[in-house]
Amino acid sequence: MIQKLKIFLKDLKKNQIAIRNGQQQIWASQKLQTLFKNEVFIPQTSWSLEPETILHILNIISIKKPKNIIEFGGGVTTLYIAKLLKLQNYKTNFISVESDVDWMLTLKNQLCDNDLISFVSQIHAPIETIDSKYSYKNQQTWYSTAAIEEGIKDISHFDLVIVDGPFGGSTPYARFSAMPFLTDYTSIKTTWLLDDTNREYEKEIIREWTEFSKLSCRIFKRYSVLEKNSEFDLSSLKI
């Protein structure tokens, strides 16, 4: 009897967490929708960052006003960030690195349709074999470093790095190289956001990055943020 009651209470708690998570995502979606007029449809797929994560990124941008932002893996994030930069008139350089040329062109069309293309510099960086100085364990590939170097040659420091690519299944530890590759372009002042840290490879990546960077790590349901200890809490509202 007691055992049955324990199982019931455990299930109840799980359901309550799931409901609260759903409410938070709905709240975040509604908040994001205010950026675009209702007649614009922003595609949101299972590959997209969750609304709560996007809102956290937009909070970081509007409070910290980063001068230079780089994202790995374009999509709805690119549209929302560009829209915020436009609306708020921020003088921010925003670079979006994408490996898939068709996806990049689709995104470019959406940026053009919404009059946002001038707020993003897209870099096409195909997936290639990665130099061992940037790889981790049995990781084989990452974005073309030559293509990225060319695209960021005028930038000396990134204040915000968003890592949601390459596609996690492309190689083990597919996203690891962002931090070693950007070492000379980042500092203790940089905020890092890595998505999918509920997955085993990304969990290990964030552990390694935390140790390497000496920044503080906050782990959320599906993503993690690395930043200086003293920063404000910019995660989106908990209901």
Residues of this chain that bind ligand SAM (CB under 6 A): 45, 47-49, 73-77, 98-100, 103, 164-165, 167
Least CB distance from residue 80 to ligand SAM, whole Å? 8
Range 42-48, long-range pairs (CB < 8 A, 24+ positions) = 42/76, 42/79, 42/80, 43/76, 44/76, 45/75, 47/75, 48/75, 48/76, 48/77
Task: From 90, 82, 76, select the one nearest 164 (Cα to Cα).
Answer: 76
∠ CA 42-43-44, nearest 5°, is 115
2 or 206, CB closer to ligand SAM? 206
Least CB distance from residue 37 to ligand SAM, whole Å? 20
The structure tokens listed for 62 are 């509007």
Distance CA 234, CA 58 (A): 9
Least CB distance from residue 73 to ligand SAM, whole Å? 3
Least CB distance from residue 62 to ligand SAM, whole Å? 18
The residue of the chain with the least Cβ separation from ligand SAM equals 75
Three-state secondary structure call for residue 59: helix
125 or 215, CB closer to ligand SAM? 125
8 or 47, CB closer to ligand SAM? 47
> Other C-beta atoms within 10 Å of 11: how many?
10
**Spatial contact of 158 and 192, defined as CB atoms under 8 Å apart:** no
189 or 235, CB closer to ligand SAM? 235
Least CB distance from residue 196 to ligand SAM, whole Å? 8
49 or 178, CB closer to ligand SAM? 49
